């Protein structure tokens, strides 16, 4: 019997950019370890097209993603909540079974101004910052799991 994968919920206010970037990255690098989802405290109702575009550049498909409210997860056993903006951190409820909470704020690329290319550059920068942070997090969790398994095997 395989126990269910722990749920990691990534929260942002609008659930249109940062949380989807993080969800896509974390699912790509650690989908074997976790169920990954994202939501917002005030969902925008869409995933920003530039978020979809910059993730496609790194071969992560967000085209099937949609904006969700964080209350959709209140009845779920969420192991870890990661907030990627200050407003979501302040609005974040405790979820049943929640063991961990992290707050890693990133600039909201939806606020980028300038030409289309300048906006894309901001989305790419934020994507790369999120990829670095969430890849390191996944590596740490993977190492943690290996240590736990090794300790269990020697017991």
Residues carrying an active site annotation: 12, 85, 92
Beta-carbon contacts of 139 under 8 Å, excluding residues fewer than 6 positions away, are: none
Region of residue 25 (left: phi > 0; alpha: psi -120 to 50; beta: else) = alpha
Q: How many CA atoms lie within 13 A of 5 on its CB side?
A: 13
Q: How far is CA 134 from the centre of its chain?
A: 8
Q: With beta carbons less than 8 A apart as the criterion, state whether 69 and 44 touch.
A: no
- Asked if residues 37 and 9 have their Cβ atoms less than 8 Å apart, the reply is yes
Beta bridge partners of 38: 10
What span, in angstroms and rounded, lies between the C-alpha atoms of 84 and 134?
11
């Amino acid at each position: 019997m395989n126990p269910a994968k722990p749920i990691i919920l990534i929260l942002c206010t609008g659930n249109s950019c940062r949380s989807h970037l993080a969800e896509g990255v974390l699912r790509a690098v650690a989908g074997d370890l976790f169920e990954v989802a994202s939501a917002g405290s005030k969902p925008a109702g869409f995933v920003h097209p530039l978020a979809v575009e910059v993730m496609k550049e790194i071969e992560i498909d967000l085209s099937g993603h949609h904006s969700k409210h964080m209350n959709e997860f209140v009845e779920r056993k969420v192991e870890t909540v990661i907030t990627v903006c200050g407003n979501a951190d302040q609005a974040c409820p405790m979820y049943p079974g929640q063991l961990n909470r992290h707050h890693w704020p990133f600039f909201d690329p939806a606020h980028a101004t300038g030409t289309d290319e300048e906006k894309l550059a901001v989305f790419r920068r934020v994507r790369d910052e999120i990829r670095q942070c969430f890849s390191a997090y996944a590596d740490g969790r993977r190492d943690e799991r290996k240590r736990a398994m090794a300790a269990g095997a020697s017991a």
